[in-house]
A and B are shown apart, each in its own frame.
Chain A
Amino acid sequence: MKELTLETLIAVFEEMYGPWLFWAMVVVAALITVAFLYVLIRDRTIEGRYLARAELTAPIGAIAAILFVQYITSSGFSDIGGPIDVIVVLMIGVAGAGGLTFLVYVAQAFMRQPGKNRN
């Protein structure tokens, strides 16, 4: 690849998912991040109880992300051919784990009933 700028990367991602789906995903990711920041600022701390529950879902997110990528690319674990492949699998797993953890954390924080004693 001759030049890999952010502009090129965005253009490639737009082609990969279609511009609407790509930017919709960016917006959803941004909204979840903003929602996370919101509850963080609102609560002024990370709520350990929510975090512990959210972290329990991390392995599910990791495995789901890896299986999804393998499914759309007609490949499997036996195709891992070198260290970089292991790193890529781990990165996909971390992304899936992180994404689901954030989502579940934010969902719990929003579902907290207002006025209820938080221990």
Chain B
Amino acid sequence: MDHPDRIALSRRGFLGMAAGGMALAGTGAPARAQKVTSSARIVILGAGAAGTAIASRLVQRLDGATITIVDARKRHLYQPGFTLIAAGLKPAAYSVSSTAEWLPRGVEWVDEAAAEIDPEANRIVTTGGKSIGYDFLILATGLKLDWDAVEGFDMNLVGTNGIGAVYAGPEQAEATWGALNRFTDEGGKAVLFRPATEMKCAGAPLKYAFLTDDYARRKGSRGRVEVHYHAHGGALFSVPIVNEKVRMLFDDRGIRVQYNHVMKAIDPGKRILTFATPDGDIETDYDFTNVIPPMIAPDVIRNSPLPWQEGAWGAQGWAEVDKATMRHVRYRNVFAIGDIAGVPKGKTAASVKWQVPVVEDHLLADIEGRLSPAAFNGYTSCPMITRVGRAMLIEFDYKDNLVPSFPGVIAPLEELWISWLMKEVALKATYNAMLRGKA
């Protein structure tokens, strides 16, 4: 006889549950689109996040096409990791992999930089003198950090004399952590800022102000630490509702804000920063700073007919593409993805993830002789770290609307642990899946 504390359960019942579970696990996978046969020659300039992701997608969708990717860089950098490296949470190697390991089979990699683009003749020339013709050109060059525009700056000083440069690369981000770590031990005055140009991840300078405050608090040195943030314009963030939230948080954390201050020079010996303001240049002393230079298009784009023809975007050299289709407005067989695109938002890897399917569909539509309805809405995502362990998952579009991925579940303007978990654990994995054309 059965023991009374045994719970009866039928064999059939369990098998039924197992079958149900398996059926559930099998749903959700979308049907793969059929491959399109084409002899098109597609040239992609740049093998960063945007170039690699679109290459992976096109290889999956096209049969017979020649896909060439042009980039001299042997290292692939996971740039969203730089803030974590500069916060002492990850080593420099966290962001470093090789270009080769992400490039899909079926793509030819020319490991030289592009030197010249002739969109009239549908041809590019590399630094090695190689001439490559194309039917479609995809610009994914990324942008250029214009260090020369920062008077007095010397890259060799990063990590010493209280100088940081998180954007410069993983090694410099690590060196910046060394400088921040010392600064928050010793105390003093941190002066942080952002450039007046378009920039990638406009949230990163703000994150670093939050992290400076957080480390000082954790170490008990906050009383000896001043944190100043100099905004380039009249706001901290371009999206008004986010700007207000950050303004409130800065106020709460005691981060002092100056508006309309554009950094132009640094004197590492005297520890003086010079800012251009509407009232003329002003100088301020510092014990710690994170130098972020103006950001412009790479020379090869600026020296081509592809940038905007006037205004600030013309001067900075961003490719003149339609903000919805990412297609060049004057050269119909040229597209831009990622930082190089002259569109109002979207210099983040998260935006790349949304731009890639749009460009992919328009390019395939051209080959197939149909019209594509695909449009990019300006989606940009910024996991705004407000301290180690918490972040705000901020997502917005061209209209400055918040477009949360998990509405009603993850509040975009709240400092949450779950948003931090996503940044720490899921983001790099999602990024890598995107590089493989799977996300």
- Contact across chains for B416 and A81 when beta carbons are under 8 A apart: yes
Q: In the bound complex, do residue B438 and residue A13 qualify as a contact, i.e. CB atoms below 8 Å apart?
A: no
Residues of A within 8 A of B439 (CB): 8, 11-12
**Complex Cα spacing A113 to B436, Å:** 50
B417 A88 Cβ-Cβ under 8 A = yes
Known: A7-B30, A37-B18, A45-B8. A78 touches B416 (CB 8 A): no
State A85–B393 Cα separation when bound (angstroms).
13
- Judge whether A49 and B418 touch: CB under 8 Å: no
> Of the candidates B14, B28, B409, B411, which one forms a contact with A5 in the assembled complex, judged by CB atoms under 8 Å apart?
B28
Type the 1/0 row for A38-52, where 1 means its CB is closer than 8 Å to any CB of B.
001100111111011
Q: Which of A77-104 contact B (CB under 8 A)?
A: 78-82, 84-85, 88
Give the distance in Å from the alpha carbon of A78 to the alpha carbon of B389 in the complex. 9
Contact present for B417 and A16 (CB under 8 Å) = no
In contact, B414 and A82 (Cβ under 8 angstroms): yes
Are the CB atoms of B417 and A81 closer together than 8 Å? yes
Size bracket of the B interface: 35 or more
A112: CB under 8 A from chain B? no
Query: Does A82 lie within 8 Å of B416, measured CB to CB?
Result: yes
Tell me how far the C-beta of B15 lies from the nearest C-beta in chain A, rounded to whole angstroms: 8
- Contact across chains for B5 and A48 when beta carbons are under 8 A apart: yes
Is there a chain B Cβ closer than 8 Å to A111's Cβ? no
Residue pair B11, A8 in contact (C-beta under 8 Å)? no
User: B33 interface residue, CB < 8 Å from A?
Assistant: no
List residues 383-432 of chain B with CB under 8 A from any CB of chain A.
387-390, 405, 409-411, 414-418, 420-421, 424-426, 428-430, 432
Cβ of B241 under 8 Å from chain A: no
A78 to B217, CA, bound (A): 14
Residue of A1, A2, A85 touching B418 (CB-CB under 8 A): A85
B433 within 8 A of A: yes
Main secondary structure, interface of A, reads helix
Total number of A-B contacts with CB less than 8 angstroms? 115
Closest residue on chain A to residue B409 by CB atoms:
A84
Bound: A10/B418 CA distance, A:
20
Residues of chain A lying within 8 A (CB to CB) of residue B29: 5-7
Interface: B250 (CB within 8 A): no
Chain B positions within 8 Å of A11 at CB level: 433, 436, 438-439
| B433 with A8: CB separation less than 8 A | yes
Q: Which residues of A contact B379 (CB under 8 A)?
A: 2
- Residues of A close to B390: CB separation below 8 A: 75, 79, 81
In B1-25, the 8 Å CB interface with A consists of 2-3, 5-9, 11, 14, 18, 25
In the complex, per-residue mask of B181-213: 1 if CB is within 8 Å of any chain A CB, else 0 = 000000000000000000000000000000000
Encode B307-347 as 1/0 by CB contact (under 8 A) with A: 00000000000000000000000000000000000000000
5 pairs from A and B in contact (CB 8 Å cutoff): A6-B27, A48-B7, A72-B425, A81-B415, A88-B421
Residues of B within 8 A of A (CB): 2-3, 5-9, 11, 14, 18, 25, 27-30, 89, 353-354, 357, 379, 387-390, 405, 409-411, 414-418, 420-421, 424-426, 428-430, 432-433, 436, 438-439
| B-binding residues in A (CB < 8 A) | 1-3, 5-8, 11-16, 37, 40-41, 44-49, 51-52, 69, 72-76, 78-82, 84-85, 88, 118-119
8 further A-B contacts with Cβ under 8 Å, apart from A15-B430, A75-B421, A79-B417, are A6-B25, A8-B438, A11-B436, A15-B433, A16-B426, A45-B6, A75-B424, A85-B418
